[in-house]
Structure 1
Protein backbone atom coordinates (compact mmCIF):
# COMPACT_ATOMS: atom_id res chain seq x y z
CA UNK A 1 0.00 0.00 0.00
CA UNK A 2 2.99 2.27 0.43
CA UNK A 3 3.54 2.02 -3.34
CA UNK A 4 -0.07 3.09 -3.91
CA UNK A 5 0.27 6.02 -1.47
CA UNK A 6 3.44 7.21 -3.22
CA UNK A 7 1.88 6.81 -6.66
CA UNK A 8 -1.16 8.88 -5.64
CA UNK A 9 1.06 11.57 -4.10
CA UNK A 10 3.40 11.72 -7.10
CA UNK A 11 0.95 11.17 -9.98
CA UNK A 12 -2.53 12.02 -8.68
CA UNK A 13 -2.34 15.49 -10.15
CA UNK A 14 -1.76 14.02 -13.64
CA UNK A 15 -5.53 13.65 -14.15
CA UNK A 16 -6.27 17.21 -12.98
CA UNK A 17 -7.88 18.99 -15.93
CA UNK A 18 -8.29 15.80 -18.01
CA UNK A 19 -10.73 16.50 -20.87
CA UNK A 20 -14.18 14.99 -20.36
CA UNK A 21 -13.52 14.10 -16.71
CA UNK A 22 -16.00 15.26 -14.07
CA UNK A 23 -13.81 13.80 -11.30
CA UNK A 24 -11.49 10.98 -10.35
CA UNK A 25 -11.31 9.96 -6.71
CA UNK A 26 -8.16 8.03 -5.79
CA UNK A 27 -9.58 5.57 -3.23
CA UNK A 28 -7.84 3.15 -0.89
CA UNK A 29 -8.62 0.90 2.05
CA UNK A 30 -6.35 -1.18 4.25
CA UNK A 31 -6.43 -4.45 6.14
CA UNK A 32 -5.19 -2.47 9.11
CA UNK A 33 -6.03 1.18 9.46
CA UNK A 34 -8.83 3.63 8.82
CA UNK A 35 -10.89 2.86 6.94
CA UNK A 36 -10.43 -0.85 7.53
CA UNK A 37 -11.11 -3.51 4.94
CA UNK A 38 -10.74 -7.30 4.69
CA UNK A 39 -8.16 -6.64 1.94
CA UNK A 40 -5.78 -3.89 0.91
CA UNK A 41 -7.51 -2.02 -1.91
CA UNK A 42 -6.79 0.62 -4.49
CA UNK A 43 -10.13 1.46 -6.09
CA UNK A 44 -10.18 4.63 -8.20
CA UNK A 45 -13.63 5.96 -9.07
CA UNK A 46 -14.17 8.08 -12.18
CA UNK A 47 -17.15 10.13 -13.30
CA UNK A 48 -16.95 11.16 -16.95
CA UNK A 49 -18.84 13.96 -18.67
CA UNK A 50 -18.27 12.20 -21.99
CA UNK A 51 -17.52 8.69 -23.23
CA UNK A 52 -14.91 10.35 -25.46
CA UNK A 53 -12.96 11.37 -22.35
CA UNK A 54 -13.22 7.83 -20.96
CA UNK A 55 -11.96 6.39 -24.24
CA UNK A 56 -9.06 8.87 -24.42
CA UNK A 57 -8.03 7.87 -20.91
CA UNK A 58 -8.30 4.09 -21.44
CA UNK A 59 -6.41 4.32 -24.75
CA UNK A 60 -3.81 6.75 -23.41
CA UNK A 61 -0.35 6.48 -21.88
CA UNK A 62 -1.52 6.91 -18.27
CA UNK A 63 -3.62 3.76 -18.42
CA UNK A 64 -0.83 1.88 -20.21
CA UNK A 65 1.54 2.81 -17.38
CA UNK A 66 -0.95 1.68 -14.77
CA UNK A 67 -1.48 -1.70 -16.46
CA UNK A 68 2.26 -2.24 -16.82
CA UNK A 69 2.78 -1.55 -13.11
CA UNK A 70 -0.27 -3.26 -11.62
CA UNK A 71 -1.76 -5.59 -14.24
CA UNK A 72 -4.87 -5.52 -16.39
CA UNK A 73 -7.77 -4.28 -14.24
CA UNK A 74 -11.46 -4.92 -14.56
CA UNK A 75 -13.17 -1.62 -15.41
CA UNK A 76 -16.74 -1.46 -14.15
CA UNK A 77 -19.07 1.01 -15.87
CA UNK A 78 -22.51 2.24 -14.87
CA UNK A 79 -25.11 4.36 -16.57
CA UNK A 80 -25.38 7.49 -14.43
CA UNK A 81 -28.86 8.51 -13.34
CA UNK A 82 -27.76 11.46 -11.26
CA UNK A 83 -24.52 13.14 -10.22
CA UNK A 84 -24.09 16.24 -8.15
CA UNK A 85 -20.86 17.73 -6.87
CA UNK A 86 -20.06 20.59 -4.53
CA UNK A 87 -17.33 23.07 -5.37
CA UNK A 88 -15.51 21.74 -2.29
CA UNK A 89 -15.34 18.10 -3.41
CA UNK A 90 -11.55 18.15 -3.74
CA UNK A 91 -11.49 18.36 0.10
CA UNK A 92 -12.92 14.82 0.34
CA UNK A 93 -11.22 12.57 2.88
CA UNK A 94 -13.51 9.53 2.60
CA UNK A 95 -15.77 7.86 0.05
CA UNK A 96 -18.53 5.28 0.20
CA UNK A 97 -19.65 2.91 -2.52
CA UNK A 98 -22.74 0.79 -2.17
CA UNK A 99 -23.79 -1.76 -4.76
CA UNK A 100 -27.32 -3.12 -4.51
CA UNK A 101 -28.95 -5.77 -6.72
CA UNK A 102 -31.91 -4.66 -8.83
CA UNK A 103 -34.64 -7.29 -8.76
CA UNK A 104 -35.98 -8.66 -12.07
CA UNK A 105 -38.89 -6.66 -13.49
CA UNK A 106 -38.26 -3.78 -11.07
CA UNK A 107 -39.94 -0.49 -11.92
CA UNK A 108 -36.76 1.21 -13.15
CA UNK A 109 -38.44 4.60 -13.66
CA UNK A 110 -39.60 4.67 -10.03
CA UNK A 111 -36.24 3.42 -8.80
CA UNK A 112 -34.49 6.12 -10.80
CA UNK A 113 -36.72 8.87 -9.38
CA UNK A 114 -36.16 7.61 -5.83
CA UNK A 115 -32.38 7.44 -6.29
CA UNK A 116 -32.24 10.95 -7.74
CA UNK A 117 -34.26 12.27 -4.79
CA UNK A 118 -32.05 10.39 -2.30
CA UNK A 119 -28.94 11.73 -4.00
CA UNK A 120 -30.19 15.33 -3.88
CA UNK A 121 -31.18 15.05 -0.22
CA UNK A 122 -27.78 13.68 0.77
CA UNK A 123 -25.93 16.57 -0.83
CA UNK A 124 -27.73 18.94 1.54
CA UNK A 125 -25.57 17.47 4.34
CA UNK A 126 -22.43 19.57 4.96
CA UNK A 127 -20.35 16.36 5.14
CA UNK A 128 -21.34 15.10 1.66
CA UNK A 129 -19.25 16.68 -1.11
CA UNK A 130 -20.42 14.64 -4.13
CA UNK A 131 -23.04 12.02 -4.85
CA UNK A 132 -23.53 9.71 -7.83
CA UNK A 133 -26.36 7.26 -8.49
CA UNK A 134 -26.37 4.88 -11.42
CA UNK A 135 -27.01 1.34 -12.59
CA UNK A 136 -25.36 -1.46 -14.47
CA UNK A 137 -27.57 -3.56 -16.72
CA UNK A 138 -25.37 -6.62 -17.32
CA UNK A 139 -25.97 -8.00 -13.84
CA UNK A 140 -28.62 -5.43 -12.83
CA UNK A 141 -27.11 -3.55 -9.93
CA UNK A 142 -27.49 -0.08 -8.53
CA UNK A 143 -24.45 1.90 -7.38
CA UNK A 144 -24.49 4.74 -4.84
CA UNK A 145 -21.24 6.65 -4.53
CA UNK A 146 -20.48 9.53 -2.13
CA UNK A 147 -17.50 11.71 -1.30
CA UNK A 148 -17.34 12.85 2.34
CA UNK A 149 -15.41 15.53 4.23
CA UNK A 150 -15.26 13.32 7.34
CA UNK A 151 -15.66 9.64 8.17
CA UNK A 152 -19.27 8.60 7.61
CA UNK A 153 -21.04 6.33 10.06
CA UNK A 154 -20.76 2.70 8.99
CA UNK A 155 -24.15 1.12 8.37
CA UNK A 156 -24.85 -2.21 10.04
CA UNK A 157 -25.78 -4.11 6.87
CA UNK A 158 -22.21 -4.35 5.55
CA UNK A 159 -23.15 -3.50 1.95
CA UNK A 160 -21.34 -0.15 2.03
CA UNK A 161 -17.59 0.01 1.42
CA UNK A 162 -15.74 2.94 3.00
CA UNK A 163 -12.51 4.20 1.45
CA UNK A 164 -9.93 6.82 2.23
CA UNK A 165 -9.43 9.44 -0.48
CA UNK A 166 -5.84 10.22 -1.48
CA UNK A 167 -6.63 12.85 -4.10
CA UNK A 168 -9.56 14.13 -6.15
CA UNK A 169 -8.93 15.31 -9.71
CA UNK A 170 -11.46 17.40 -11.61
CA UNK A 171 -11.64 17.89 -15.37
Structure 2
Protein backbone atom coordinates (compact mmCIF):
# COMPACT_ATOMS: atom_id res chain seq x y z
CA UNK A 1 0.00 0.00 0.00
CA UNK A 2 0.99 3.58 -0.62
CA UNK A 3 -0.20 6.72 1.15
CA UNK A 4 -0.09 9.92 -0.91
CA UNK A 5 -0.80 13.59 -0.29
CA UNK A 6 -0.32 16.85 -2.11
CA UNK A 7 -1.24 20.23 -0.75
CA UNK A 8 -2.03 23.60 -2.25
CA UNK A 9 -1.30 26.60 -0.05
CA UNK A 10 -3.82 29.20 -1.13
CA UNK A 11 -3.62 32.97 -0.55
CA UNK A 12 -4.93 34.32 2.76
CA UNK A 13 -7.78 36.12 0.96
CA UNK A 14 -8.67 33.12 -1.25
CA UNK A 15 -12.40 32.39 -1.41
CA UNK A 16 -12.42 28.88 0.10
CA UNK A 17 -16.01 28.37 -1.02
CA UNK A 18 -14.40 27.66 -4.44
CA UNK A 19 -12.65 24.66 -2.86
CA UNK A 20 -15.85 23.58 -1.10
CA UNK A 21 -17.73 23.64 -4.44
CA UNK A 22 -14.91 21.82 -6.22
CA UNK A 23 -15.01 19.03 -3.61
CA UNK A 24 -18.79 18.67 -3.94
CA UNK A 25 -18.64 18.64 -7.76
CA UNK A 26 -15.46 16.61 -8.34
CA UNK A 27 -15.38 14.39 -5.24
CA UNK A 28 -17.70 11.64 -6.45
CA UNK A 29 -15.65 11.24 -9.64
CA UNK A 30 -13.09 9.11 -7.75
CA UNK A 31 -15.65 6.91 -5.96
CA UNK A 32 -14.65 3.35 -6.86
CA UNK A 33 -11.41 4.35 -8.65
CA UNK A 34 -9.32 1.21 -9.31
CA UNK A 35 -6.86 0.29 -6.53
CA UNK A 36 -8.09 3.10 -4.27
CA UNK A 37 -8.47 2.36 -0.59
CA UNK A 38 -9.83 5.86 0.07
CA UNK A 39 -9.36 9.48 -0.89
CA UNK A 40 -10.13 12.08 1.74
CA UNK A 41 -10.86 15.48 0.19
CA UNK A 42 -9.35 17.76 2.82
CA UNK A 43 -9.36 21.49 3.35
CA UNK A 44 -8.79 23.97 6.13
CA UNK A 45 -9.17 27.72 6.35
CA UNK A 46 -6.46 29.99 7.70
CA UNK A 47 -6.87 30.22 11.48
CA UNK A 48 -9.08 27.12 11.69
CA UNK A 49 -7.58 24.44 13.98
CA UNK A 50 -4.50 26.67 14.27
CA UNK A 51 -3.72 26.48 10.54
CA UNK A 52 -1.45 29.22 9.26
CA UNK A 53 -2.71 28.85 5.70
CA UNK A 54 -5.75 28.14 3.55
CA UNK A 55 -5.12 24.61 2.31
CA UNK A 56 -6.58 22.13 -0.12
CA UNK A 57 -4.77 18.87 0.65
CA UNK A 58 -6.31 15.54 -0.46
CA UNK A 59 -4.95 12.38 1.16
CA UNK A 60 -5.04 8.98 -0.56
CA UNK A 61 -4.58 5.40 0.53
CA UNK A 62 -3.77 3.25 -2.51
CA UNK A 63 -4.10 -0.53 -2.37
CA UNK A 64 -1.58 -0.90 -5.21
CA UNK A 65 0.99 1.50 -6.72
CA UNK A 66 -0.76 1.25 -10.09
CA UNK A 67 -3.70 3.18 -8.65
CA UNK A 68 -1.50 6.15 -7.73
CA UNK A 69 0.20 6.03 -11.11
CA UNK A 70 -3.09 5.80 -13.00
CA UNK A 71 -4.50 8.74 -11.06
CA UNK A 72 -1.43 10.96 -11.50
CA UNK A 73 -1.51 10.24 -15.26
CA UNK A 74 -5.26 10.91 -15.50
CA UNK A 75 -7.11 13.81 -17.12
CA UNK A 76 -8.51 14.64 -13.66
CA UNK A 77 -5.06 15.28 -12.22
CA UNK A 78 -4.12 17.24 -15.34
CA UNK A 79 -7.16 19.46 -14.83
CA UNK A 80 -6.26 19.93 -11.15
CA UNK A 81 -2.71 21.02 -11.96
CA UNK A 82 -4.05 23.34 -14.65
CA UNK A 83 -6.16 25.06 -11.99
CA UNK A 84 -3.79 25.10 -9.01
CA UNK A 85 -0.26 24.42 -10.27
CA UNK A 86 2.15 21.51 -10.14
CA UNK A 87 2.24 20.15 -6.57
CA UNK A 88 4.88 18.21 -4.74
CA UNK A 89 3.27 14.79 -4.27
CA UNK A 90 4.40 13.19 -1.04
CA UNK A 91 4.25 9.39 -0.83
CA UNK A 92 4.84 6.98 2.00
CA UNK A 93 5.16 3.19 2.08
CA UNK A 94 2.39 2.08 4.42
CA UNK A 95 3.50 0.19 7.50
CA UNK A 96 -0.05 -0.33 8.71
CA UNK A 97 -3.54 0.88 7.94
CA UNK A 98 -6.76 0.25 9.79
CA UNK A 99 -10.13 1.27 8.40
CA UNK A 100 -13.41 1.12 10.33
CA UNK A 101 -16.63 0.03 8.67
CA UNK A 102 -17.90 3.48 9.74
CA UNK A 103 -15.27 5.37 7.71
CA UNK A 104 -17.95 7.19 5.70
CA UNK A 105 -18.85 9.13 8.87
CA UNK A 106 -15.44 10.88 8.89
CA UNK A 107 -15.72 14.66 9.15
CA UNK A 108 -12.19 15.54 10.29
CA UNK A 109 -8.65 14.38 9.63
CA UNK A 110 -5.34 14.82 11.40
CA UNK A 111 -1.89 14.39 9.97
CA UNK A 112 1.49 14.35 11.65
CA UNK A 113 4.74 14.19 9.73
CA UNK A 114 7.74 13.13 11.79
CA UNK A 115 11.40 13.08 10.90
CA UNK A 116 13.30 9.81 11.27
CA UNK A 117 16.80 10.25 12.62
CA UNK A 118 19.72 8.74 10.67
CA UNK A 119 20.49 5.16 11.69
CA UNK A 120 17.32 4.94 13.75
CA UNK A 121 16.19 1.34 14.43
CA UNK A 122 13.51 1.14 11.72
CA UNK A 123 12.20 -2.28 12.76
CA UNK A 124 11.59 -0.99 16.29
CA UNK A 125 9.96 2.20 15.03
CA UNK A 126 7.78 0.19 12.66
CA UNK A 127 6.66 -2.10 15.48
CA UNK A 128 5.74 0.85 17.74
CA UNK A 129 3.99 2.76 14.94
CA UNK A 130 2.07 -0.33 13.84
CA UNK A 131 0.89 -1.01 17.38
CA UNK A 132 -0.30 2.59 17.72
CA UNK A 133 -2.13 2.46 14.37
CA UNK A 134 -3.84 -0.73 15.47
CA UNK A 135 -5.01 0.88 18.71
CA UNK A 136 -6.38 4.03 17.04
CA UNK A 137 -9.78 2.58 16.16
CA UNK A 138 -10.37 1.77 19.82
CA UNK A 139 -9.79 5.44 20.68
CA UNK A 140 -12.27 6.80 18.15
CA UNK A 141 -10.41 6.98 14.84
CA UNK A 142 -12.36 5.82 11.80
CA UNK A 143 -9.16 5.18 9.83
CA UNK A 144 -5.49 5.16 10.71
CA UNK A 145 -2.58 5.09 8.26
CA UNK A 146 1.05 4.99 9.33
CA UNK A 147 3.92 4.87 6.86
CA UNK A 148 7.43 5.96 6.05
CA UNK A 149 9.27 7.61 3.20
CA UNK A 150 12.96 6.64 2.78
CA UNK A 151 14.13 9.48 0.52
CA UNK A 152 14.02 12.25 3.11
CA UNK A 153 13.18 9.85 5.97
CA UNK A 154 9.80 11.06 7.12
CA UNK A 155 6.96 9.15 8.73
CA UNK A 156 3.27 9.96 8.43
CA UNK A 157 0.51 9.39 10.94
CA UNK A 158 -2.84 10.06 9.31
CA UNK A 159 -6.22 9.56 10.95
CA UNK A 160 -9.86 10.16 10.08
CA UNK A 161 -12.33 11.14 12.82
CA UNK A 162 -16.04 11.70 13.37
CA UNK A 163 -15.18 14.38 15.99
CA UNK A 164 -11.90 16.28 16.07
CA UNK A 165 -9.75 15.15 19.00
CA UNK A 166 -7.53 17.48 20.97
CA UNK A 167 -4.45 18.28 18.88
CA UNK A 168 -1.10 19.97 19.46
CA UNK A 169 0.63 22.61 17.35
CA UNK A 170 2.57 20.00 15.32
CA UNK A 171 -0.61 18.29 14.09
CA UNK A 172 -2.28 19.53 10.93
CA UNK A 173 -6.05 19.16 11.15
CA UNK A 174 -8.50 19.34 8.26
CA UNK A 175 -12.18 19.14 7.44
CA UNK A 176 -13.23 16.21 5.28
CA UNK A 177 -15.42 17.48 2.43
CA UNK A 178 -15.90 14.13 0.70
CA UNK A 179 -14.58 10.62 1.04
CA UNK A 180 -14.13 8.46 -2.05
CA UNK A 181 -14.01 4.77 -1.22
CA UNK A 182 -13.13 1.58 -3.06
CA UNK A 183 -16.01 -0.36 -4.51
CA UNK A 184 -17.09 -3.21 -2.25
Bucket of the pairwise TM-score, normalised by the shorter protein = over 0.9
Q: State whether structure 2 residue 56 is matched by structure 1 residue 45.
A: no
> Residue 91 of structure 2 aligns with which residue?
77
> Residue 167 of structure 1 aligns with which residue?
178
Counterpart of 2:147 (choices 134, 155, 162) is: 134
Cα offset for 1:50?
A: 0.6
Measure the CA separation in 1 of the matches of 2:73 and 2:26: 18
The 8 Å contact of residues 29 and 36 in structure 1, kept in 2 or not, is answered as no
Instruction: In structure 2, list runs of 5 or more residues that go unmatched.
Output: 1-15
Distance 1:36 1:5, change over 3 A: farther
Measure the CA separation in 2 of the matches of 1:35 and 1:84: 25
> Residue 147 of structure 1 aligns with which residue?
160
List per-residue Cα deviations over 1:6-41 (Å, max 9, x = no partner): 000111111100000000001111114x43411000
**Count of paired positions:** 167
> Residue 31 of structure 1 aligns with which residue?
46
Q: State whether structure 2 residue 76 is matched by structure 1 residue 62.
A: yes
Measure the CA separation in 1 of the matches of 2:163 and 2:67: 30
Paired residue secondary structure (1:133): strand
Counterpart of 1:103 (choices 114, 117, 121) is: 117
Paired residue secondary structure (1:124): helix
The 8 Å contact of residues 21 and 46 in structure 1, kept in 2 or not, is answered as yes
Q: Over the residues paired in the alignment, what is the CA RMSD in angstroms?
A: 1.0
Cα offset for 1:124?
A: 1.1
Paired residue secondary structure (1:8): helix
Measure the CA separation in 1 of the matches of 2:172 and 2:49: 9
Measure the CA separation in 1 of the matches of 2:82 and 2:66: 23
List per-residue Cα deviations over 1:40-96 (Å, max 9, x = no partner): 000100010011111111111110111111111110001110011011112111100
Measure the CA separation in 1 of the matches of 2:78 and 2:28: 17
